[in-house]
Amino acid sequence: MRRGLPFVIGSLSLLACSGVLDPDSPVHPGDDEAILFEVPKGTPPGALGDEMVDMGFLSSEYEWKIFLKMNDGSCLKAGKFELRRSMSLNEVLATLCGPPMADDVPFTVLEGWRIRDTDAALAEAGLIEAGAYAAVAMGKTVPAPFEVVSETYEGYLWPETYMVPAAGVDPGVFVTRQLETFQREFLSKHSDFGDRTLNEIVIMGSLLEREEPKPEQRPLVSGILWNRIDKGWQLGVDATSRYTIEKWNDRKAFMKQLRDPDDPYNTRIHKGLPPTAIGAPTLASLEAAMNPEKTPFMFYLHDHDKNLHPARNAAEHEANRKRFDVY
C-alpha cells in the first residue's frame, strides 16, 4: 500500500497542475441562481459528490474525490446551505464549512406588490411586527448597494420567493437581500438605459407590471407610454391612482383618488411619471421599459378578456371603446 502512495500523490499533483481540476474555476460561471443544498446529519464529505454532480456543481463525482484528497473536508457541517453554480470548489467548500442556514420557511413577494403589501403579508405570517418592514423600505434606513435617487425603495425590492427564518425576519436584513437581488438579477446584466435614468426605468417598469398582464405585450405598451411622456401628454394610467390607497381593489377609494387634483400619483391630471414606482416590477417589465417597441400608437385599452387594443389617435381610441364596451 505504501508503494502506491507516491503514485497517488503524483497523480493528484499532475491533475491539479494540468488543469484537469481547477478548484478556483466554477463549472458554470455566471449562473448565480441560489440553490438550497442540504447536508444530512452524519453524511461523510465523500458521499456528497453524486448529488453535487446532479445539481451542476461538478462535472463528475471523481472530481469531488480528487478535490477532497487535496483539501480537508472534515470541517463540513450538517444543515442547509445556499450555493450557486457560479461558485468554485473552494467557494463551495468554504460555504459548506461555514454556518448552516437556520430552519427557514419560504416567503413570496409577489410581482407588482407595493411595500405596504409586503409589510402586510410579513405581518400576517407572523414574521414581523406590522409596519416594521415598511419603515425600513420607505425610510431607506439601510444602504443600497447601488445609487437609488427615489425617496423610497419602492420598485427596487425584487419580487421572488425568499427563504427566511421561521422565528421572524429582521426587516433591514430582508430589505438588503431584496436590493442585492435587484442588483444581481437586473443591474448586473443591464447598465445602459439610453436617454432614460435607472429611476425612470424602474417607475415605468412598475406601471407596465400593473397595466399589461401579458409580458409579451409590455414592449408595445411601453412604447405607447413613452410616446405620451415624450410628447408632454398625461399618461392616464389609472393604476397610479391606486398606489396610495390601502387596498388596491377598493373601488370607492380609487374613484375618490381619480377626482383628487392634489394627488401627485394622479396621471390623468399630472404630466410625466409619478413620483415613485407603484410596486415591484419583474425582469420582463424592466426590460420592456428599457426596450419599448417603436410604434405610432398613442392610446390603448383592454377588452373584457384582457386583450390589448392600441389606437393612433383619440378617434380610433373612442371607436375601440364603443366596439369593446370599455369606459
Residue by residue, pLDDT tens for the chain (327 residues) are 333 333 333 334 434 444 467 888 887 888 888 888 999 988 999 999 999 899 888 888 888 888 898 898 889 988 889 999 999 889 999 999 998 877 788 999 999 999 999 999 999 999 999 999 999 999 999 999 999 999 999 999 999 999 998 889 999 999 999 999 999 999 999 989 999 999 999 999 999 999 999 999 999 999 999 999 999 999 999 999 999 999 999 999 999 999 999 999 999 999 999 999 999 999 999 999 999 999 999 999 999 999 999 999 999 999 999 999 998
Helix (H), strand (E) at residue 83: strand 79-83
pTM exceeding 0.85: no
The per-residue pLDDT for 55 is 87
Q: What is the pLDDT of residues 225-259, one digit of tens each?
A: 999 999 999 999 999 999 999 999 999 999 999 99
In this prediction, residue 109 carries a pLDDT of 98
All three cell numbers of 121, joined, read 403579508
Quote the pLDDT of residue 11: 39
Cα distance between residue 293 and residue 14, in whole Å: 55
The alpha helices in the chain, defined as continuous H runs, are 5-18, 49-54, 61-70, 89-96, 115-124, 132-139, 171-182, 198-211, 218-230, 251-258, 283-290, 314-324
Report which residue type is found at 71: N
Please compute Rg for the chain using Cα positions: 26
Q: Which residues pair with 301 in a beta bridge?
A: 309
Task: Give the pLDDT of residue 12.
Answer: 40
Note the pLDDT of residue 20. 60
Ranges of each domain in the chain: 2-96, 104-187, 198-295
